[in-house]
């Protein structure tokens, strides 16, 4: 299976890959998202270590069951060859109605077919008041005209 764009990345194809990942994660469809990763993909997400697509699906289902109204923006930080570094921020609320903005960085490594084989994520959570939210688009894909992270000052 090939998942374009494939390495080696240019600035344009790296940006395309980052937006495709953002769009997929904003679906909150764990099975769909998992298809962007190799069968034996390795993740470090905060302090959790995840191996393979089945564990990715389990992780994402748990994540989106507790991070409600999840909306994500990713932005390219750097790229070279088969690697991309991104920064991101997402907003969500918990079951008690408390809102959070979570900031982080990810390092990605891809195989030759464009599937991600390594994802290393560092994430920090900031409680925010509902009035401090910056992501107000309907659940799903971020509209093309919506400001990105740099535009929002994040």
Other CB atoms within 10 Å distance of the CB of residue 129: 8
Label the pairing between strands 116-128 and 37-45.
parallel
CATH (domain of 42): 3.10.450.50
Question: How many domains does one find in the chain?
Answer: 1
- Partnered with residue 141 across adjacent β-strands are none
From residue 85, give the alpha-carbon distance in Å to each of 51, 78, 79.
20, 5, 6
User: What is the average pLDDT across 123-139?
Assistant: 98
Its domain, for residue 33, covers 11-133+143-152
User: What's the pTM value of the predicted model, to 2 decimals?
Assistant: 0.97
Residue 30 included in any domain: yes
Q: Give tens-digit pLDDT for 84-129.
A: 999 999 999 999 999 999 999 999 999 999 999 999 999 999 999 9
From residue 37, give the alpha-carbon distance in Å to each of 53, 105, 141, 150.
7, 18, 20, 27
């Amino acid at each position: 299976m090939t998942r374009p764009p494939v390495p080696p990345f240019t600035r344009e194809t790296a940006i395309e890959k980052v937006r495709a990942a953002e769009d997929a994660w904003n679906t909150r469809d764990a099975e769909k998202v998992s298809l962007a990763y190799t069968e034996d993909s390795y993740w470090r997400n905060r302090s959790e270590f995840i191996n393979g697509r089945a564990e990715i699906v389990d992780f994402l289902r748990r994540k989106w069951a507790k991070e409600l109204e999840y909306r994500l923006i990713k932005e390219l930080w750097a790229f070279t060859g088969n690697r991309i570094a991104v920064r991101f921020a997402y907003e969500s609320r918990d079951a008690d109605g408390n809102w959070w903005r979570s900031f982080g960085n990810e390092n990605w490594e891809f195989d030759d077919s464009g599937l991600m084989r390594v994802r290393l994520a560092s994430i920090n959570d900031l409680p925010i008041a509902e009035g401090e939210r910056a992501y107000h688009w309907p659940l799903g894909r971020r509209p093309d005209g919506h400001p990105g992270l740099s535009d929002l000052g994040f």
